[in-house]
């Protein structure tokens, strides 16, 4: 009985040590190189830690979506970029994703993916040239995406909805 108990404690200690080593290995890259893409708790946290002052957030926000963002990812290396996810209040699913990047080549690995494009049109968003894409996401949900340049940033919003609320959100982000 004593040998079994000792083996059990050795096993538990080994697992605890392994978990601790994995946590340190996960933390190490962010400690060594500041500015890589990682999760932040708030927009103010991004502003203070990464010194990104210009973070565009919607001033119009439909009541059916939760505020503040449920996920905020940001980086400064190799270029500044911020991704914010917002959930639908009723379903709890990610329903809106905004991205802002100082690179035209930035591509997000979105939780919302358009599976079928029904229409892609140029759109004038408060005197800015934008591209509006309307289509469907998985499970034939309506979704829309709009992208435009705002100063040094490429902006993009994708939303599980028709384009009407999407356009209102985008217009509220334009300065």
Q: Is the pTM of this model over 0.85?
A: no
- Same domain for 70 and 138, yes or no, is yes
The pLDDT of residue 66: 86
Q: Quick check: 148 pLDDT over 80?
A: yes
3-state SS class at 74? strand
For residue 65, the model assigns a pLDDT of 87
> Do 42 and 25 lie in a common domain?
no
Mean pLDDT of the chain: 88
- pLDDT tens figures, 59-86: 888 888 888 899 999 998 889 999 999 9
Domain count, the chain: 2
In a shared domain, residues 119 and 58 = yes
- Expressed as residue numbers, the domain containing 5 is 1-32
Rounded distance between C-alpha atoms, residue 146 and residue 34, angstroms: 31
Question: What whole-number distance in Å separates Cα of residue 145 and Cα of residue 117?
Answer: 10
Q: Pick from 137, 94, 117, 49: which is nearest to 84 by CA? A: 94
Summarize pLDDT for 106-141 with one digit per residue, the tens: 887 778 888 899 999 999 999 999 999 999 988 889
Distance (Å) of CA 18 to CA 10, 11, 29, 31, 131: 12, 11, 18, 20, 48
CB 37 within 8 A of CB 81: yes
Whether residue 32 is predicted with pLDDT greater than 70 in this model: the reply is no
pLDDT at residue 92, as a whole number: 86
Q: Report the distance separating Cα 78 and Cα 81, nearest Å.
A: 9
């Amino acid at each position: 009985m004593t040998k079994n108990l000792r083996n059990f404690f050795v096993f538990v200690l080994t697992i605890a040590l392994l978990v601790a080593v994995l946590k340190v290995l996960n933390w190490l890259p962010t400690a060594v190189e500041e500015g890589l893409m990682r999760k932040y708790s708030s927009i103010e946290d991004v502003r203070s830690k990464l010194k990104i002052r210009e973070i565009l957030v919607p001033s119009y926000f439909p009541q059916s979506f939760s505020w503040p963002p449920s996920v905020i990812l940001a980086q400064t290396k190799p270029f500044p970029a911020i991704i914010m996810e917002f959930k639908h209040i009723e379903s709890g699913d990610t329903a809106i994703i905004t991205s802002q990047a100082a690179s035209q080549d930035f591509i997000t690995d979105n939780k919302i993916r358009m599976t079928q494009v029904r229409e892609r049109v140029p759109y004038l968003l408060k005197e800015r040239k934008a591209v509006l894409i309307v289509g469907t996401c998985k499970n034939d949900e309506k979704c829309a995406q709009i992208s435009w340049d705002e100063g040094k940033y490429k902006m993009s919003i994708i939303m599980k909805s028709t384009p009407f609320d999407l356009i209102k959100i985008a217009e509220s982000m334009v300065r």
